[in-house]
Structure 1
Amino acid sequence: MRFGVTVGLLHPAVWRDFAIEADKLGFESVWVPEHLVFTEDMARSQYPGGEKPPVLPEAQLFDAPAMLCAIAQETRNIKLATYVYLFGLRHPFIGARAFSTLDAVSDGRAIVGVGSGWMESEWDAVQLDFASRGRRLDEAITVAKRLWTERVVTHHGEFYDFSGVYFEPKPVCEPHPPVIAGGTSKAALRRAVRLCEGWVGMPGTLETVKPQLDLLEEILRAEGRGRDTFEVTVSAFDMAGPEEVREWEALGADRVVVRPYTRTSTAIEELRQFAREYGVTPAAG
C-alpha cells in the first residue's frame, strides 16, 4: 500500500516542514488542498459529506502548484499532489502551465488531482456558470493533455477555442503527469475512468466508500479499461489500526491518503508515530 498524507487542517506555515518530514519517513505523496477564493456566503453551498464546509471563509488560501514547487525544492522522493485543483475555474493554459512547471521543478513528481468543485459562490465570484462546471472540467482536462503531449494544438470546443498554440517545455513525466479526478457522483467516477489515470475519494470509511468503489469497478468494466492503467486512491482519516490497510487493499485501493494528526503543534511527531505503527519506511537508495 502506498501512503499519502494531506496537509489539510494544518496551519500553512508548517506545510513545508511537514512535507519534508513525510519525505524522510517514506510517505509516497503529500496532498495540498486548493480553492481559488472563499466567499462570505459559502455556507449556502452544500458541502458533500457534511452539513457545512470544514473551513471558515477567512481561511488562508495559497496557490497549490506554487506551494508544491516550494516543497519540491526541499524534498527528494515524495510525490506532490493537489487535493483537488479546480481546473475548470481557470483557462487550461493556466492550469497546464502550473502543473508542467511543478513537474519540471520536481523532476516528474507532480500528481494533478482535479475536481469540479462544490461551492457555487466560488464560481459566481469568477463569473462562470456553476451548472456547467463538469463539462468545463472535462474539456479543460482534454485540452491540458493535448498541450502536454502535442507539438502544436488547435482546439474548437464548447468553452475553449484557439488555433496553432505551442506549449513548451513538455512535462518531465511521460506522457504527462497523472491526472486523478475526485468526486463521489457517478459523473465524477465516469470522468475519472474516461479521461484520467485514476480516482481519489473524499474522506470516508470502509463502509461509506465501498459503494463508490463498486460503482467504479462497474464503470471500468463497461468502458473496457483494465486496472493496470488506473489507480484508486482512498482517503481514510480515521483508520482503526494497521489491520485496516489490508481491508482497503481487498476493496481495490492502491493508495490511502491519511491525516495522522490532531493539531498543528503536534503534527510532525504524530506523523512519525503513524509511520512507526503502520510500517512506513524510506525508499531504498
Structure 2
Amino acid sequence: MTVFGISLLRANPAIWSDLAQEAERVGFESIWMSDHLVLPVDLDSGDYPDGKLPIAPNTQIFDVMVYLAAIAARTSTIRLGTFVYQLGLRDPFSAARAVATLDVVSGGRVELGVGAGWSSAEWQVAGLPFDSRGRRLDEVSAVCRRLWTEETVAHEGEFYSFPEVAFEPKPIQGADLPLLIGGESPPALRRAVRTGTGWIGMHHTPESVAPIVEKLNELCAAAGRVEPLSVTVAAPPGEVDVAGWRTSGVSRVIVAPWGRTSTAIADIRAFSRDFIQVS
C-alpha cells in the first residue's frame, strides 16, 4: 500500500503549521522538512546528481527538529519526517538528543531521513572533509542508534571516541525509530540495505524509480536481509501519477499538489478527496 506525505519545502513557511494541520485532518500520512546547516553562496551545481540545484542559497532554512516540534504541538497523528537530515555534519550527542526529544514530545512520530550530503561547499565551511561524509554518516548513525537503545554506551571509532555514557530519555519508538537512508549512488543504496529501515529518494516518477527499487531488492537478497525495506520518494512537481505509484511497490510518495502557496490548503483538500479518502 502506498501512502502520501506532504513536502513543506514548496510552500511559504508562513503557512507550514496550518498546512500540516490540514494535511493531518484530510488524511495525509506525513509531512516533510528539508535540512541544511548553512547554504554557501557559491554552490556547485556539479555536486548534485542531475546538475540542477534543488535549493537556492537564500532559501529560508530552519532547525528541523525545533520546527517539527512546534508542528507536533499542533497535531496528533501525522508523521514528522526529515528529507533529509544532514546527520554526518552533527556530532552524535547533539543529533541523538534532538531526535530523541522530538520523538518524545511528538508521541513517537519521527521519520528520520538522513543523507551523506551533496554540497561539498557546505562540508567545507563546516570544517569537515567532504570525502569523509559517507563514513561519518555511518559512524554517527551507529552511535545514535546505540544511544537510543542501550542503557550505557562507550565507543571507539574513526571520528568519535568516548568512555561509557548514559543517555536518557530514549525515543518513544526506541529501536523501531525509522532510519531512512538517502542517496542514489551505489554506496548509498548499500548503506540503506545495511543500516536503514528504509531508503528515501529524490524526485522520481514510478518509471524512473523502478530500476532503483529493483536494485534495492537485489541488494537485500544478496545481503540475506529479511526485514522489509521501505521506499520513500518525492514526486516531481506537477500532476501526480497516483495510479502509477500505487502499483510501483513504493511505500510512500511525498507530494506538493499545489501550484502556489495561496492555493495549497485547498489543493491538498482536493487531492485527498480524489485520491486518499476514496481508497
Q: TM-score range by the shorter chain?
A: over 0.9
Per-residue CA deviation, residues 16-41 of structure 1 (Å, 9 max, x unaligned), is: 11111101111111111111100110
Identity, in percent, stands at 47
Alpha-carbon distance change, 184 to 280 in structure 1, aligned in 2, over 3 angstroms: farther
In the alignment, does 2:192 pair up with 1:230?
Answer: no
CA shift, 1:65, in A, is 1.1
Alpha-carbon distance change, 54 to 230 in structure 1, aligned in 2, over 3 angstroms: closer
Retained in 1: the 8 A contact 2:147–2:153? yes
In the alignment, does 2:185 pair up with 1:190?
Answer: no
Superposed counterparts of 1:1-285, under 5 Å: 1-49=2-50, 51-226=51-226, 228-237=227-236, 238-248=238-248, 252-280=249-277
Structure 2, unpaired ranges of 5+:
none
Retained in 2: the 8 A contact 1:26–1:281? no
Q: Which amino acid aligns with 1:2?
A: V
**Count of residue pairs the alignment pairs up:** 277
CA shift, 1:240, in A, is 4.8
TM-score by length of 2: 0.95
> What RMSD in Å do the two structures reach over aligned CA positions?
1.6
CA distance in 1, matches of 2:257, 2:44: 27
CA shift, 1:43, in A, is 3.3
CA distance in 2, matches of 1:98, 1:123: 21
CA shift, 1:174, in A, is 3.0
CA distance in 1, matches of 2:203, 2:45: 21
- SS in structure 2 opposite 1:83? strand
Per-residue CA deviation, residues 23-77 of structure 1 (Å, 9 max, x unaligned), is: 111111111111110011013542223x331322111110011110000000011
CA shift, 1:13, in A, is 1.5
Alpha-carbon distance change, 281 to 20 in structure 1, aligned in 2, over 3 angstroms: farther
CA distance in 2, matches of 1:87, 1:148: 15
CA distance in 2, matches of 1:239, 1:208: 16
Structure 1, unpaired ranges of 5+:
none
Per-residue CA deviation, residues 152-204 of structure 1 (Å, 9 max, x unaligned), is: 10000001111111110011113242110111111111111111110111111
CA distance in 1, matches of 2:135, 2:250: 27
Q: Which amino acid aligns with 2:14?
A: A
Retained in 1: the 8 A contact 2:27–2:276? no
Q: Which amino acid aligns with 2:255?
A: V
